Amino acid sequence: MLRYETNLSPGLNVIAAPNSFGKSTLLQGVIYALGLEGMFSSSRKPPFGPALLTVADWPDGTRSSVRESWVSLTIANEQGAYMRCKRFVRGDGIDTSLIMTWRGNSQSDLDRATRVDMFVRQPGAAFRELGFHRVLAEFLGWDLPTVPGFNSSEVSLYLEALFPLFYVEQKSGWSGVAPRMPTYLGIRDVLKRSVEYVLGLSALERLTALAAVKSEEDDVKKRWQSASDRLGDAAKSLNCRIFLHQDSPVTPARRQRCVVEVMEGESWVPLERQIDVWRQRLRELERVGVESAGQHTNQAREELSAAEASIREVGGRVRLIDEQLNLSRTDSDALATRLASLDAERNRLADLRKLRGLGSTLGITSVSNDVCPTCGQLLDGRETATGIAADLDQTIAEIEAERETVRAATQSSERRRAGLERNRSSLQAALHGAMRQARALRDELAGPSAVPSRAQVQQQILLTSSIERAQRLLDLADEANEYFDELAGRWQDVRDRLADLRDGTLSRTDQQIVSRMNSSFQAQVRDYGLRSVPPSDLSIDESALIPVNDGVELTFDLTMGISASDMIRTKWAYYLSLFEAATFSSGNRHAKLLMLDEPRQQETDRRSLAAFVRRLDAAAANGCQVIYATSEDRRDLDEVLHNVQVAMLPARGPHLLAPV
């Protein structure tokens, strides 16, 4: 069996060995044992070479197939608790998503502890009971927040988004100043969110609070819309309308009480006033009592004549509204067609302007094609001296202006159609009422004269029912007004809190922490002796929390005249300044771990490297565990490590894995 086993000291640990020895395998093994290889990519393949996956080389030169391989790691937290993790890289019947764990209060307790199996790299690993990353976050004392994702979603700040701040791997980790962050996690501004969390900035807490307040804002909107719909549906069932009501939440200063209106004749009147009219009619009917059909004959004829006249008059008004609705729909269709054509023309002209900006010599005459893009009329050459309606920019501006006009006209047309449909609904109800009354009067005139007047009885029933239903609607409107007043107050509170939370300025404490990070960063780039750019031009941007060169962000590709070796030194400074600033913060959530795989890239100057190692030594003395893997010549390394307290990890033989 081939095996490598070592104890990592609390301070600076160095493994020095030639290339291909397996130094990267050791560091990646730490990450793999914790289920964090997702920080490299979304791939679920173990991040190892053939020695752990397919074929292993023995010291005598022979090779053998790998049947089973695993990584075991023991970690301790600041509370003195221990956890051992074992995860298979290759094994029959054992999935790589399985992690075996043991917990104890001391390292010796782990041998007697009960094994608990958990899972990683599977949905729920960050929050389920047996999800290992949930347990690991608790073990580290981290309460991982939710942060803004894409498409207005909220996602967890996963451990895979934090550990790139503690580990720089060899292959692509040194390709830029900023850490390589996993984008597939769906976290918006993932680097900024992770740095804010590690530094313990209140800005992240404010962001979390902002998400909560936005959720409350959405809740007020939904409640307002739901109450509006209920009140509107109740009013519509009685052929009424709600007047002076805002469709979306407003503050108390802009809040207007809802007024229920009903159509009487040709105008809308408050429902309270109409209820008084109905009550007066009902009292008059009750005062005179119900007459017999014979006694009511003359009055019935007059009422029938009036009902028939009302049917003709109201029916005519309904037909007129139908004609107006048809015209309104035609107008809306025409406006929609015109808007679509304006959108197409604007896009075409915008593309033409883009081509012209790229150096195209395409003539402006191709814009009009003998058709005015604004009004759509044909141009025959006599209308303009050049045959051109306008220059490109002016034409685009005119199209934009017309688009706004057409949009406004479309909204006005929609509002007018909605009003016409409400009026038609009320008139239709009045028409049906007049037709019912006419039928009752005809039946009464054709029936026996000794029976009670059917029309009067029906009128009393209708008035009583209308009054009761209308009163219930008014009571509902009163309750709704009280509810809308409450929601308006909540809306004001939400808007005030949103205004405070959206203030982009950092708190005084956050400014001090970021300033400490910037001071450390600038001191380091001076000590490391950058040559291709003045160190004074580099700083940590207070907003993005990444290095900038004279205000321009330094991200993955440095195409700004900065040498590759200076880029490496800048990266050193960034990682260490993050740790040093975190130790200054009362909300420090740094893992107190730095793993650096071949930090001396691009033949970086040895004096710079020595200054960097001294800084690492200071970080180690301040509680940071550093694992430093290098292939430098041992004599050169000893010179760099002079007067530095360091634990040298065993690195004997041709390869990390040796027979046991």
- Residue 616: give its domain's CATH number: 3.40.50
**Percentage, residues of the chain above pLDDT 90:** 41
> Is pLDDT above 90 for 632?
no
DSSP E strand boundaries for 364-456: none
In this structure, the number of other CB atoms found within 10 A of the CB of residue 536 comes to 11
Kindly state the DSSP code that residue 474 receives in the 8-state scheme: H
One-letter amino acid at 135 equals V
How many Å from the N-terminal Cα to the C-terminal Cα in the chain?
A: 6
State the average pLDDT over residues 40-63. 86
Q: What is the pLDDT of residue 568?
A: 87
Say if 379 falls within a structural domain. Answer: no
Does residue 608 register a pLDDT over 60?
A: yes
Whether pLDDT at 381 is above 50: no
Q: Binning pLDDT at 50, 70 and 90, where does residue 383 land?
A: very low
| Separation between Cα atoms, residue 459 and residue 467, nearest integer Å | 12
State which amino acid sits at residue 131.
Answer: G
Domain count within the chain: 1
Residue 515 lies in a domain: yes
Name the helix (H) or strand (E) containing 70. Answer: strand 69-76
In a domain, 155, yes or no: no
Give the Cα-Cα-Cα angle 165, 168, 170 (nearest 5 degrees). 165
pLDDT at residue number 386: 44
- Answer for the pair 235, 475: CB distance below 8 angstroms, yes or no: no
Whether 240 is covered by a domain: the verdict is: no
pLDDT of residue 380: 53
pLDDT confidence of 543, banded at 50, 70, 90? confident
Cβ atoms 82, 74 nearer than 8 A: yes
Is 365's pLDDT higher than 60? no
Tokens of 270: 């408050």
Cβ atoms of 245 and 255 within 8 Å: the answer is no
Residue 60: pLDDT band by 50, 70, 90 thresholds?
confident
C-beta of residue 312 within 8 angstroms of C-beta of residue 305:
no
What is the residue range of 2's domain? 1-19+506-660
Q: What per-residue confidence (pLDDT) applies to 364?
A: 46
| Least confident segment among 260-269, 567-576, 586-595 | 260-269
Confidence class of residue 557 from pLDDT cuts 50, 70 and 90?
very low
Chain centroid to CA 241: how far? 38
Question: Per residue in 229-252, pLDDT tens?
Answer: 999 889 888 888 888 788 899 999
Q: How far apart are CA 5 and CA 660, in angstroms?
A: 10
> Above 70 in pLDDT, residue 366?
no
Lowest mean pLDDT among 84-88, 100-104, 313-317, 490-494: 313-317
Q: Which is nearest to 35 in space by CA: 101, 92, 114?
A: 101
How far is C-alpha 371 from the geometric centre of its chain's CA atoms? 44
Per-residue confidence (pLDDT) for residue 550, from 0 to 100: 76
> In this structure, are residues 13 and 626 in contact, taking their beta carbons and an 8 Å threshold?
yes
Report the pLDDT value the prediction gives residue 225, as an integer from 0 to 100.
Answer: 93
Write down the residue that tokens 């709704």 correspond to.
Answer: 480
**Amino acid 165: pLDDT:** 96
Which pLDDT band, with edges at 50, 70 and 90, does 623 fall under? very high
CA distances from 631 to 247, 433, 598 (A): 69, 97, 7
Separation CA 408–CA 391 (nearest Å): 26
Query: How confident is the model over 579-592, as a mean pLDDT?
Result: 94
Distance CA(507)–CA(585), nearest Å, equals: 13
Mean pLDDT across 453-469: 83
pLDDT at 2: 83
Q: DSSP state, 655?
A: S
Give domain status of residue 10, yes or no: yes
In 3-state terms, what secondary structure has residue 648?
strand
619 assigned to some structural domain: yes
Helix (H) or strand (E) holding 593: strand 593-597
- pLDDT higher than 90, residue 113: yes
Q: Is the confidence at residue 166, as pLDDT, over 70?
A: yes
The stretch 82-86 carries a mean pLDDT of: 96
Spatial CB neighbours of 479, under 8 Å, sequence gap ≥ 6: none
Mean pLDDT of the region 620-644: 89
C-alpha to C-alpha distance for 29 and 45, rounded to whole angstroms: 13
Q: pTM for the whole thing? A: 0.66
- pLDDT tens string 310-362: 888 888 888 888 898 899 889 889 999 999 999 888 888 888 777 777 766 55
Q: How many CA atoms lie within 13 A of 351 on its CB side?
A: 7
CA 85 to chain centre: 35
Instruction: Band the pLDDT of 385: cuts 50, 70, 90.
Output: very low
Q: For residue 457, tell me if it sits in a domain.
A: no
pLDDT of residue 208: 79
What is the per-residue pLDDT for 143? 92
Place of tokens 């029906």: 458
> Alpha-carbon distance 460 to 205, whole Å?
66
Q: Give the residue with greater pLDDT, 188 vs 208.
A: 188
Is 60 exceeded by the pLDDT of residue 634?
Answer: yes
**pLDDT at 268 > cutoff 70:** yes
Task: Please tell me the distance from the alpha carbon of residue 575 to that of residue 599, in angstroms, as a whole number.
Answer: 12
Q: What's the half-sphere exposure (Cβ side, CA atoms, 13 Å) at 660? A: 7
**Residue 651 domain flag:** yes
